[in-house]
Amino acid sequence: MRIAVYAFDDATMFHLAVPQMVFDEVTRQGLAEWKTVLFSDQAGQVRTTEGYLLGEVQGPKAAEEADVVVVPSWFDDGRAPSESLRLVLQMAHQRGAAILGLCLGAIPVADAGLLSGRRAVTHWQAFDSLASRHPDVSLDKTVLYIDHGDVLTSAGTASALDACLHLVRARLGADAANKVARSLVIAPHREGGQAQYIEHPVPPRSSEDPIARLLEWALGRLGEPLSIDRLATQAHMSRRTFIRAFRASTGTTPSAWIRTQRLDAARRLLETTDLSVEQVAADCGFGSAVTLRQSFATAFSTNPTEYRRHFDARLRQGPAR
């Protein structure tokens, strides 16, 4: 798979590095043959905001055969994209390439008309200006990324890691994403959105944090009933205090966190075992195959059987193409 990353003067090294780091790790791990290239409006050099000069940046033609086109960030002043970039994004989208607008990169993606009538996310500091510029785009502060299949946007800065890992998961399965995450020593999946960062930061978690201890406890019991009352009791808190502390620590609700962990566990079992859908549902705490199917349809727009057919790790012979 070929991935073209848009580079521009004053981009940060971090924003440019994230998609290359995550996607190139897929190849380094032997999971698939993914290749990233940098392109800009003109071939030549790009100077980053840190003052580094990047040479051998390719021109727009480098994106013509890309399977994925990434805008890793954007100018802080939110300026309109060049006609060259707008055409690259529109033409890539028309031929079926996936478009990623990471962090402020959602701005040129919206300007190219690819988010009209859709939900999207960007850095929270740009919400008001983007909403004013594109009132037909529904902005969501509660998530780290939003994937429509053909267009993906992510929230502020580090959320680009989550979005890129999500693409690995969507294309190659949970096991591949977990291998990439382990190699890069990053979380394979984070909960919560960026609304928590607008007024107060998420407090750091440590082994002394009762919520951190509870998360570890709950992960070992996903097949059991995990009501809010049971979780609160395990954390030695009242129900109200627990719900407030859980959201402050994770950025999401206990029910949403448990549901996501159960879905991830179900995906791993579907990818790596012969267990029936009924048994997977039981082992992961869904209670019934019907509930698992409904949850899968809501979260992934597919069903467990189709997911297994597409992502069964045991059926892959060598690197995925």
Name the nearest CA neighbour of 73 among 3, 155, 196, 140: 155
- Count the alpha carbons within 13 Å of 244 in the hemisphere toward its beta carbon: 5
58 close to 66: Cβ distance less than 8 angstroms: no
Backbone angles phi, psi at 146, to 5 degrees: -135, 125
Q: Please give the helix or strand (H or E) that residue 294 lies within, else none.
A: helix 289-300
The residue assigned the tokens 């709950």 is 218
Residues, the chain: 321
The vertex-283 CA angle with 167 and 170, nearest 5°, equals 10
Q: Degrees (nearest 5) of the Cα angle 115, 49, 88?
A: 35
pTM comes to 0.65
Q: Residue 31 phi/psi, 5° resolution? A: -85, -30
* Antiparallel, parallel or unpaired: β 119-120 and 35-39: unpaired
State how far Cα 156 lies from the chain centre. 12
Cα 118 to Cα 146: distance, rounded to the nearest angstrom? 10
Q: Is 65 helix (H, G, I), strand (E, B) or coil?
A: coil
- Phi and psi (nearest 5°) for 160? -60, -35
Please identify which residue in the block is written with the tokens 């000069």: 53
Q: What CATH number labels 202-315?
A: 1.10.10.60
Asked if residues 49 and 10 have their Cβ atoms less than 8 Å apart, the reply is: yes
Note the pLDDT of residue 254.
Answer: 93
Per-residue confidence (pLDDT) for residue 313, from 0 to 100: 58
The predicted structure's pLDDT at residue 291: 95
pLDDT of the chain, 321 residues: tens digit per residue:
999 999 999 999 999 999 999 999 999 999 999 999 999 999 999 999 999 999 989 999 999 999 999 999 999 999 999 999 999 999 999 999 999 999 999 999 999 999 999 999 999 899 999 999 999 999 987 788 999 989 999 998 889 999 999 999 889 988 888 899 889 988 766 655 554 344 333 344 445 678 888 998 999 999 999 999 999 999 999 999 999 999 887 778 899 899 989 998 998 898 888 999 999 999 999 999 999 999 988 887 788 998 888 776 555 444 433
- The number of C-alpha atoms within 13 Å of 238 and in the hemisphere containing its C-beta is 2
Name the CATH code of domain 2-184 (choices 3.40.50.880, 3.40.50.2000, 1.10.3720.10, 3.40.190.10). Answer: 3.40.50.880
pLDDT computed for residue 196 by the predictor: 37
Per-residue pLDDT at 100: 98
Rounded to 5 degrees, what angle do the CA atoms 95, 10, 185 make?
A: 75
Confidence at residue 297, expressed as pLDDT on a 0 to 100 scale: 86
Q: Which residues pair with 152 in a beta bridge?
A: 100, 147
46: part of which helix (H) or strand (E)?
Answer: strand 44-47
Cα gap 75→81, rounded to integer Å: 9
Residue ranges covered by each domain of the chain: 2-184, 202-315
Q: What is the predicted pLDDT for the residue at 191?
A: 54
